Amino acid sequence: MSKKNVKKTTVGVINDDVLVFTAGRDVVLDKALIEADCLGSAAHATMLSRIPLKPRLFSKDDLKRIVATLGEIIAKARRDEFPITLEDQDVHLAVERYLTARLGDLGKKIHTGRSRNDQVALDLRLFSRDQLSDAIRETADLAAVLVELGRKHVHVPMVGRTHMQPGMPSSIGLWATAFAESLLDDASILMHAYELNDKSPLGSAASYGVPLPIDRQLVADLLGFSAPCHNVLYANNSRGKMESVILMAMSQVMLTLSRLAQDLMLFTMPEFAYFNLPAAFCTGSSIMPQKKNPDVLELVRAKASRVLADAVAVYDLVKGSPSGYNRDLQEAKEVFMNGLAVTRSCLRIMAAMLAETTVNEEKLLAGFTPDVFATDRALELVAAGMPFRDAYHHVKENLHELENSDPRKAIARKKHLGATAGLDFSLYADRIHAARSFVENEQAVTRKSYQSLMGTAYSLA
């Protein structure tokens, strides 16, 4: 092998082209994992320092130096001053390279009892924990905007549609809180994904454990996890599966956002004009001066397909993989990070847009035609004693009798649970509070764990 065509790395000499090919996008993507890798290394070193070996792997002073140096890396990463080179290949070897350069043999010892397999699985779980908690909060925030829109306009009638055709009297309150409730269910799905993710894989090494008396429970506790993954083979097999679960949860959020975006596109058309989108959230045309395009909504609708595609991509990468680590998983990292970033950006932009969206009550009332009240009238006749099918045909043949129907009175009469006059806004407030409290509590545990681990005040990135 020609020396001109090879590079020396921490884990061996490798052909230049092979290095570029196998490193792939990790040199760029792993910047998002630097902090997680340092935290995981601090927990791992702390655990190694307590293994009852003679001599000990790390003394108390050794551990302090290691943790302090890892803190330096975190500070550099937050200033975007910690490089990951092609020779590093990934964040794990970049961190080890820095530790070794600063601490000599201490840096060379840091990888004792672990593999890059459980390291990357850990990094992604720590990264996912932060991303999921923020996504849960952002989902609750958008739900809160919709609930407020519904509360403010709870008595404003709106034609309810099936097959996109006029159906029955509805309201802005019902429409807005329907999407809020969907998002709160999505937040519940995200919380379940969070709980599945909240387990430490570290210590599983290359999937089969190590012949050292390591303490995997201690590592999990130090990092604020609810528990370690029990089976060491599954700890690594869960890589890819966990990303798939999280992306599938994100795709449910995007499903709700896509339908909400579609409704808004429909109901802001001049032919409806039920809502007015804020001008700052619309774009113009390069040729038509009058245009006010709902590009944000169109992109949200399109991005829902992308996030689902990301979820399917990870699923497809994993479904044929044998147990144990396979390099195929490297290809899952970019689509995983993309799916998280896209979902969160859509949540934020929709919340900002809806907070400034206004309701056109005049246009909403103008959308009512006599036939919209047909079902309500049939049920009134039933309440007076007429069989439903007779009432159905009577109304169908006498729609002219409904010409003076009042939309406001119609929505006020539906007082049962969850109907236009039976919406429980305290229920929504409680669910929003619960989602936000979940995030606050989990982030408090995480912050406290990191502060204790690093021995200094710690703010979540």
The answer to whether the CB of 185 falls within 8 A of the CB of 435 is: no
- Give me 218's structure tokens: 């201690």
Q: How far apart are CA 161 and CA 175, in angstroms?
A: 11
Distance of CA 162 to the CA centre of its chain: 31
Distance of CA 439 to the CA centre of its chain: 13
For residue 269, is it left (φ>0), alpha (ψ between -120 and 50) or beta? beta
The set of residues, in sequence order, having a beta carbon less than 8 Å from that of 219 and lying 6+ positions away, is: 43, 44, 46, 47, 200, 202, 203, 228
Residues facing 432 on adjacent strands: none
Q: How far apart are CA 206 and CA 235, in angstroms?
A: 10
Residue 176 has phi, psi (to 5 degrees) of -65, -45
Q: Which one from 192, 230, 285, 433 is the annotated catalytic residue?
A: 285
- 285 catalytically annotated: yes
The answer to whether the CB of 150 falls within 8 A of the CB of 177 is: yes
Q: How far apart are CA 294 and CA 349, in angstroms?
A: 12
Instruction: Say if residue 271 is exposed, middle or buried (CB neighbours under 10 Å; 0-12, 13-18, 19+).
Output: exposed
One-letter identity of residue 405 = S
What is the DSSP secondary structure assignment for residue 158, as one 8-state letter?
E
Q: How far apart are CA 63 and CA 163, in angstroms?
A: 66
Length of the chain: 461
Q: Which one from 2, 163, 416, 459 is the annotated catalytic residue?
A: 163
Instruction: Say if residue 365 is exposed, middle or buried (CB neighbours under 10 Å; 0-12, 13-18, 19+).
Output: middle
- 230 catalytically annotated: no
From residue 155, give the alpha-carbon distance in Å to each of 150, 171, 410. Answer: 9, 7, 10
Catalytically active residues, by annotation: 163, 285
